[in-house]
Structure 1
Amino acid sequence: MEAAASSSSVEQTVDVAQWEENVKSHHMPRADLNKLVMEYLVKEGFKDAVLSFEGESGIDPGVDMKILDEQIKIRAAVESGSIQDAVELVNDVDPEILDTNPKLFFHLQQQQLLEYIRQGDVEKVLDYAQKELSARGEENPEFLEELEQTLALLAFDNTSASPFSELLEHPQRLKVVSELNAAVLASQDQTSESKLGMLMKLVLWAQDQLTKKGLKFPKLANIGSCKLETD
């Protein structure tokens, strides 16, 4: 029994070459890969890429191009910091999107607060937080924590020194864009998350499970670069 327990705890190691060979041995039809890519491009609202990929692959996007036009406008508004314009654009698509999604609406208001902080307008920050967000924070502990983190940026003359400085970086705006894209698609009876995104989450979960079991193997540490890294 002791010997069995000891052998089961020994770490196993798989080298990069062996891992890549195992991956290559599993074939997935190109048509299925193309569908995954197309769905991802549609979910993220990349209209130019959708049209280009449609021409190359012959895959039908399966969505009204007008919706992608609206997504592009919404993305541009959020990425430029014009949050009120984004709200109006979303309401033009469907007024119920924000009415029925309090978390999304809060994140839009939080982003507006962040834009005021970015501008250095403390008076506007405090006024907007008091009038628009304080009641929401009191009603929802999750909202309150996010609001407190946002307002904590005011405690630093140099916001980059704040532990919450990432809230003022571009990826924060992109998170709001993704939430909006998902909500707009859901309003059109489209699924909100791409299968490719779900597959990436599954990959990360599987890697975590293998690591817990003591297996050392090349990990997909950076999804953006798709490079395998060893411990």
Structure 2
Amino acid sequence: MDLHRRVQSQTSSTSTATPSKHAFETRVADVKSPKSDINALILDYLMMEGYPKAAEKFQKEANLKPRQEDPTINARQQIQHAIHVGDIQKAISDLNELDPGILDSDPHLHFSLLRLQLIELIRNARGYDPSAAINFAQEKLAPRAASNEQFLKELEKTMALLIFPADKLQPDLAALLHSDLRRNTAAQVNEVVLQRHTERREAAIRQLVRMRAWAEASCRSKKRNLPDRIELGLNGDDNGHDPMVTT
């Protein structure tokens, strides 16, 4: 009986024992990033991604010093919103109004927007007369594709949407109708505008995340002693850190 109780006691204590922290996690827990630095990163993200109202509200709540006004932030927000809802003509018009030379200086961006506009025409023409989409492709995209092999491949792929039913599309064609393409194109436009007007393409936090991923991959390739999984700490993970978003 005593032996049985002893085994039960050992089993219970083993199952409830808190696992010891990896040495790396202990070192990380000792490093506390100032909330002011984290808040500055968040504000930078909101400004760079084109969220003026959220940036203004966060700036007040976090008691941050006013940043230099970005004259493009409202226009960038409107352009991205137009792309997200599929109004590509408005996005192109607003983009030209913001920066008249931007599309002429970036043929790839211009073609991406025109192709997305063609996709929206095809989407709206399903089950109806596709002549508007065909005419648009002939007038706006075909001349550009004639002298660029990559443009030609993308145009041919897009026109295939007119041939196959929506439920019979191969994954690479179905991806053209997915909202991710709108989102990626909007991000591409935002980056180009930022680079032309601020000499930066993206928010600082994106660079930090890539740097962190590179550092981890580099250490693992050199067989450094790391935990099997390293959390980013964005949601208050069980690593002793506060959530990244703080006010």
* Alignment TM-score, normalising by the size of structure 2: 0.72
Aligned residue among 101, 105, 119 for 1:100? 105
Aligned residue among 34, 40, 57 for 2:39? 34
Over 3 Å counting, the alpha-carbon distance change for 1:154 and 1:188 in structure 2 is same
Aligned residue among 19, 24, 40 for 2:29? 24
For each residue in 1:78-114, what CA deviation from the matched residue of structure 2 results, as whole angstroms up to 9, or x when unmatched?
Answer: 1221111111111111101112111111111111011
* Stretches (4+) displaced over 4 A: 210-216, 222-228
**Equivalent residue runs for 1:50-61 within 5 Å:** 50-57=55-62, 58-61=64-67
Pair 1:163-2:171 in alignment: yes
Alignment check: 8 A CA contact 1:78 1:173 kept = yes
Aligned residue among 111, 130, 136 for 2:144? 136
Over 3 Å counting, the alpha-carbon distance change for 1:141 and 1:204 in structure 2 is farther
Aligned residue among 109, 112, 125 for 2:117? 112
2: CA distance, partners of 1:224 / 1:128: 45
Larger radius of gyration: 2
Over 3 Å counting, the alpha-carbon distance change for 1:161 and 1:199 in structure 2 is same
2: CA distance, partners of 1:137 / 1:223: 46
Unaligned runs of 5+ in 1: 1-14
Pair 1:188-2:197 in alignment: yes
**Partner of residue 3, structure 1:** none
Aligned length: 212
1: CA distance, partners of 2:177 / 2:81: 17
Over 3 Å counting, the alpha-carbon distance change for 1:24 and 1:224 in structure 2 is closer
Greater share of strand: 1
Identity %: 30
Tell me which amino acid in the other structure corresponds to 2:213: L
Alignment check: 8 A CA contact 1:50 1:61 kept = no
Greater share of helix: 1
Unaligned runs of 5+ in 2: 1-18, 239-247
1:167 deviates by 2.1
2: CA distance, partners of 1:74 / 1:150: 23
Pair 1:218-2:229 in alignment: yes
Tell me which amino acid in the other structure corresponds to 1:60: P
For each residue in 1:128-175, what CA deviation from the matched residue of structure 2 results, as whole angstroms up to 9, or x when unmatched?
Answer: 222221232333333333333323333420257322212212221111
